[in-house]
């Protein structure tokens, strides 16, 4: 307990005569106070000040008679977070609340004991305490303001386990914490971090619980009914249109991606039931006029419903709004220009470079005066130098060391294991590769790849030797795209192949592409549906090879965004988050463990449904699959398996690792220099160790897990309601033992933190330079005899640039991935928590968390060491970017590093 004593502040304990005599009691009911001498360094300490213990209150704790209870006074310190910016309406409302507070329309608290009154059989309650000085402090400009309230309680009151809050003001307010002083057990902390709605909007009293965790069967008698009531409130009744102020968590289908009222081109199929897909947060909006099964849309800038506490906090919203503003401006100017003339192609690489050096305005021949005349949002007026501010892109990190790096084959291979999408690469086990599609439907599926295509690049090895020695790898998008190719290629400005790329791990340790197979739908016996391209031997094949790699990148961008990023992190985690709020009390230790890993995810997913994955949204506009994007995502969900989502299971399933019980994580990588895999296993191991320590602390016996009705209800509902379309699959893990629970929780935390970070925060650093990673292609690769072949031969650079996205498509895509790659100032990273010393009243859990935090810091040092090792060619070398996506910490902005706790962007 030495670390805990240091965290709590031993000097504080030793100074007080009361605490020195009650030290054991204090530890038995721990209420931790952060110290300046914390043993483990945390980048972010707790987010707001907690009241220090009042010495006067400590000194007046009376010695009570057993015969006759007496009353004594206790105090609550209430920490409220103010908005940094208020509009005129909010300022007026705040002033009116200040006046109303003086005449009794105030904020009222009531303490609820953990014990029942033997006479009434109801929980003991204190007198009501009014929050003081609200009107006096209403004009304070501080980010956080502390108020107080006082209560009279009997000496037999017991320990408070809950507080009810009634807000009689007109406005909601954000309540961070309540700290109670004056009880013999020491200060009691109630972490709230919630919006408290006005009584006129939500008449019931808000219930907040102490930070002491309880399993359901351990709930004190005085809190049992409150525990059930709060969960019932959060579940709602499954009906009605949700108000923005509601705190109701429920399930809905993905039936709001299209807008059939705008016409048939904007209709999209419902995902869920007939087309399997995870469930999303229910909003209850009315159906569209033309399709009763489709939910009506809310278009930006109007907000989509998510439960009130899930909405972005102010600093996060400011960052996101600024990014959205940049996106509007980056896209507005090219859109205006395209209304006067056809959308422009890039004429040369200097055109692309000018987006970083000159900005969009000068690139399109426009001046600042033109922008100032446009009816843009008032926020634009804050930027005095438009060209240097919101209309100029930052140079992507991929160009920071070598502006020509994207042309190299070894860089193309490196990005398959250390780039934006390291999840598609697999060890090649059979050559030629085989399709799993139905040949009756799709025609002959034999690969066009032959041994003669790859033998020249195997450094003297036979194909079988290369397979046996784990030298051959593949990124296979054949089965993903082929069923959709006819429809994709019928879209304007879209041309795609089903691709397979073969890589060879060279003796120097560099991964290089050695063959690319391009497949089109078979249209008959004489169809030229398959072709294989290999590394260049002359000028013509060099440009052919560049075009083939660009098509592979476009396919990779689509699968990365729709399958690995959106589906495997955002969409599949949402049901687990909804079920956690509905079935796990805030007092439940597993809820306390998961809480930081659920932050903001429902909000960012709602924003994605509104703008990114919707009909004519960014994904459809900027990526190869177009309007069939979400159908590709749903197709991938049919083969998604939760038991393959842990990092070790995923690596083994892709052949990138083999089971090895002698290794710390139970697996051994077959490619040592696989930055995502090797760094990821460090993070995975730390998460799993932390979760195992935490789970075994609360569940020393597996029978306790089986009897935990809240825990079992959470897991059951996550599967049977949230993933209802796959609920009958036999691969779902059981939840019967501590090992089961450790595996399930570790997987969820891994997906929400490190897995999402590895897939998200490199999108602009790599994709911001469109030739390196085009999100779509507009031309197929011409062959001799094709009408375009002569144009290709005469000016291959012009043809290549015309095959890439247009200026409008590129700038739109760049603006979006710029926003998605940005860390906000309030980001909370792995190993950090809000109120790190008081999120739990269990000292053992807090101490275990600090050990986890220390392990994360050590992992950061190890990753830095690896990035300086010249033997690791995929992360170190001339012009090579270090692999920092799994470095836990980051500054705000686009840094290509940092592992937030949750899916927050």
Catalytic member of 478, 588, 756, 874: 756
Question: How far apart (Å, rounded) are the C-alpha atoms in residues 664 and 648?
Answer: 11
Show the tokens assigned to 863.
Answer: 């990753």
Q: What angle do CA 790, 796, 800 make, to 5 degrees?
A: 115
Question: How far apart (Å, rounded) are the C-alpha atoms in residues 180 and 73?
Answer: 11
**Cβ(164)–Cβ(190) under 8 Å?**
no
Catalytic member of 564, 565, 588, 665: 565
Show the tokens assigned to 533.
Answer: 């391209």
Residues 6+ apart with CB under 8 A from 795: none
Strand, helix or coil for residue 656: coil
Catalytic member of 605, 760, 772, 901: 760
Give the closest residue to 645 by CA, choosing from 731, 720, 716: 731
789: exposed, middle or buried (Cβ count in 10 Å: 0-12, 13-18, 19+): middle
Strand, helix or coil for residue 823: strand
Q: Quick check: is 728 catalytic?
A: no
DSSP string, 517-569: EEE----STT---EEEE-S-SSHHHHHHHHHHHHHHHHHHHHHIIIIIIIIII
Question: How far apart (Å, rounded) are the C-alpha atoms in residues 600 and 123?
Answer: 34
Radius of gyration of the chain (CA): 30
Catalytic member of 453, 478, 551, 570: 570
Q: Enumerate long-range contacts of 236-241, CB under 8 Å, 24 or more apart.
A: 238/282, 239/284, 240/284, 241/283, 241/284, 241/285, 241/286
Residues 6+ apart with CB under 8 A from 747: 642, 645, 646
Residues 6+ apart with CB under 8 A from 731: 641, 642, 643
Residues in the chain: 905
Show the tokens assigned to 445.
Answer: 């599926």
Using the structure block, give the residue that is written with the tokens 């979760």: 691
822 secondary structure, DSSP code: P
Q: Quick check: is 905 catalytic?
A: yes
Show the tokens assigned to 106.
Answer: 């105030």
**Cβ(504)–Cβ(471) under 8 Å?**
yes
Catalytic member of 13, 454, 488, 905: 905
**Cβ(706)–Cβ(736) under 8 Å?**
yes
Q: What angle do CA 289, 291, 296 make, to 5 degrees?
A: 60
**Cβ(74)–Cβ(181) under 8 Å?**
yes
Please tell me the number of Cα atoms within 13 Å of 190 on its side-chain side.
Answer: 27
Helix axes 807-820, 349-357, angle to 10 degrees: 40
> 89-125 burial, b for 16+ CB within 10 Å, e for fewer?
eeeeebeebbebbeeebbbbbbbbbbbbbeeeeebbb
Q: Quick check: is 760 catalytic?
A: yes
Residue 327 neighbours by CB distance under 10 Å: 21
Q: Quick check: is 207 catalytic?
A: no
**Cβ(454)–Cβ(473) under 8 Å?**
no
Q: Quick check: is 570 catalytic?
A: yes
Question: How far apart (Å, rounded) are the C-alpha atoms in residues 443 and 732?
Answer: 34
Residues 6+ apart with CB under 8 A from 193: 174, 175, 176, 177, 309, 834
Residues 6+ apart with CB under 8 A from 36: none
Question: From residue 577, how far is each of 215, 307, 467, 571, 827 by CA, in Å?
Answer: 19, 12, 42, 10, 19
Question: How far apart (Å, rounded) are the C-alpha atoms in residues 216 and 705?
Answer: 11
Active site residues: 565, 570, 756, 760, 905
């Amino acid at each position: 307990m030495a670390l805990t004593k240091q965290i709590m502040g031993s000097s504080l304990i030793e100074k007080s005569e009361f605490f020195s005599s009650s030290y054991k009691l204090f530890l038995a009911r721990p209420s931790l106070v952060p110290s300046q001498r914390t043993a483990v360094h945390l980048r972010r300490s707790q987010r707001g000040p907690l009241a220090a213990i009042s010495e006067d209150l400590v000194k007046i704790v009376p010695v009570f008679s057993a015969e006759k209870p007496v009353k004594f006074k206790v105090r609550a310190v209430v920490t409220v977070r103010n908005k940094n910016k208020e509009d005129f309406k909010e300022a007026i409302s705040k002033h009116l609340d200040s006046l109303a507070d003086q005449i009794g329309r105030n904020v009222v608290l009531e303490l609820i004991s953990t014990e029942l009154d033997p006479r009434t059989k109801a929980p003991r309650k204190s007198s009501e305490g009014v929050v003081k000085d609200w009107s006096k402090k209403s004009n304070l400009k501080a980010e956080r303001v502390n108020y107080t309230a006082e209560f009279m309680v009997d000496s037999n009151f017991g320990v408070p386990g809950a507080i009810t809050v009634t807000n009689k003001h007109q406005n909601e307010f954000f309540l961070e914490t309540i700290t109670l002083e004056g009880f013999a057990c020491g200060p009691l902390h109630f972490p709230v971090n919630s919006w408290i709605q006005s009584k006129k909007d939500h008449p019931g009293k808000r219930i907040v619980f102490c930070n002491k965790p309880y399993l359901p069967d351990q709930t004190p008698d005085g809190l049992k009914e409150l525990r059930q009531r709060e969960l019932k409130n959060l579940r709602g009744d499954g009906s009605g249109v949700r108000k923005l102020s509601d705190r109701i968590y429920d399930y809905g289908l993905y039936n709001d991606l299209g807008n059939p009222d705008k016409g048939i081109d904007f209709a999209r199929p419902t995902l869920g039931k007939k087309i399997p897909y995870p469930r999303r947060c229910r909003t209850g909006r009315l159906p569209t006029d033309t399709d009763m099964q489709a939910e009506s849309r809310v278009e930006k800038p109007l907000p989509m419903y998510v439960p009130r506490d899930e909405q972005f906090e102010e600093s996060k919203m400011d960052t996101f709004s600024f990014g959205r503003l940049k996106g509007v401006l980056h896209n507005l100017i090219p859109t205006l220009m395209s209304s006067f003339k056809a959308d422009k192609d890039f004429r040369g690489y200097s055109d692309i470079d000018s987006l970083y050096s000159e900005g969009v305005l000068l690139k399109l021949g426009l001046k600042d005066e033109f922008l100032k005349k446009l009816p843009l949002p008032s926020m634009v007026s804050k930027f005095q130098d438009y060209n240097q501010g919101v209309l100029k892109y930052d140079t992507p990190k991929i160009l920071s060391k070598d502006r020509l790096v994207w042309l190299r084959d070894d860089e193309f291979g490196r990005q398959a294991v250390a780039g934006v999408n390291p999840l598609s690469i697999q060890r090649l086990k059979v050559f030629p590769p085989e399709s799993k599609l139905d040949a009756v439907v799709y025609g002959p599926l034999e690969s066009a790849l032959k041994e003669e295509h790859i033998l020249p690049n195997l450094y003297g090895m036979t194909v079988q030797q290369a397979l046996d020695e784990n030298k051959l790898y593949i990124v296979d998008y054949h089965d993903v795209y082929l069923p959709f190719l006819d429809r994709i290629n019928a879209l304007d400005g879209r041309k795609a192949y089903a691709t397979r790329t073969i890589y060879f791990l060279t003796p120097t340790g560099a991964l290089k592409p050695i063959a690319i197979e391009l497949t089109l739908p078979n249209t008959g016996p004489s169809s030229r549906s398959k072709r294989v391209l290999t590394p260049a031997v002359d000028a013509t094949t060099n440009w052919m090879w560049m075009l083939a790699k660009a098509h592979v990148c476009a396919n990779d961008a689509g699968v990365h965004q729709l399958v690995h990023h959106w589906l495997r992190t955002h969409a599949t985690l949402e049901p687990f988050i909804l079920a956690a709020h509905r079935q796990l009390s805030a007092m439940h230790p597993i809820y306390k463990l998961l809480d930081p890993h659920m932050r903001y995810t429902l909000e960012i997913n709602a924003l994605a449904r509104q703008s990114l994955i919707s009909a004519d949204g960014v994904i459809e506009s900027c990526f190869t699959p177009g309007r069939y994007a979400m159908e590709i995502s749903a197709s991938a969900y049919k083969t998604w398996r939760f038991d393959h989502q842990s990092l070790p299971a995923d690596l083994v399933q892709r052949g990138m690792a083999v089971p090895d019980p002698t290794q710390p994580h139970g697996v051994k990588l077959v490619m040592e220099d696989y930055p995502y895999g090797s760094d990821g296993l460090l993070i995975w191991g730390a998460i799993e160790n932390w979760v195992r320590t935490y789970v075994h602390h609360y569940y020393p016996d597996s029978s306790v897990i089986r009897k935990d009705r809240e825990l079992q209800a959470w897991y059951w509902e996550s599967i049977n309601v949230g993933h209802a379309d796959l609920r009958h699959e036999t691969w779902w893990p059981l939840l019967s033992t501590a090992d089961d629970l450790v595996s399930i929780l570790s997987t969820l935390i891994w997906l929400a933190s490190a897995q999402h970070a590895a897939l998200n925060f490199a999108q602009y650093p790599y994709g911001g330079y469109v030739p390196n990673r085009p999100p779509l292609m507009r031309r197929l690769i011409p062959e001799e005899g094709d009408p375009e072949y002569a144009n290709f031969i005469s000016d291959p650079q012009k043809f290549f640039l015309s095959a890439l996205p247009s200026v409008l498509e590129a700038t739109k895509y760049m603006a979006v991935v710029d926003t998605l790659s940005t860390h906000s100032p309030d980001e909370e990273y792995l190993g950090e928590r809000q109120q790190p010393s008081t999120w739990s009243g269990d000292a053992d859990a807090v101490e275990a968390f600090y050990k986890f935090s220390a392990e994360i810091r050590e992992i950061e040092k190890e990753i830095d060491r690896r990035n300086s090792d010249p033997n690791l060619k995929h992360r170190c070398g001339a012009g090579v970017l270090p692999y920092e996506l799994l470095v836990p910490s980051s500054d705000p902005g686009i840094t290509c590093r940092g592992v937030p706790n949750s899916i927050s962007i």
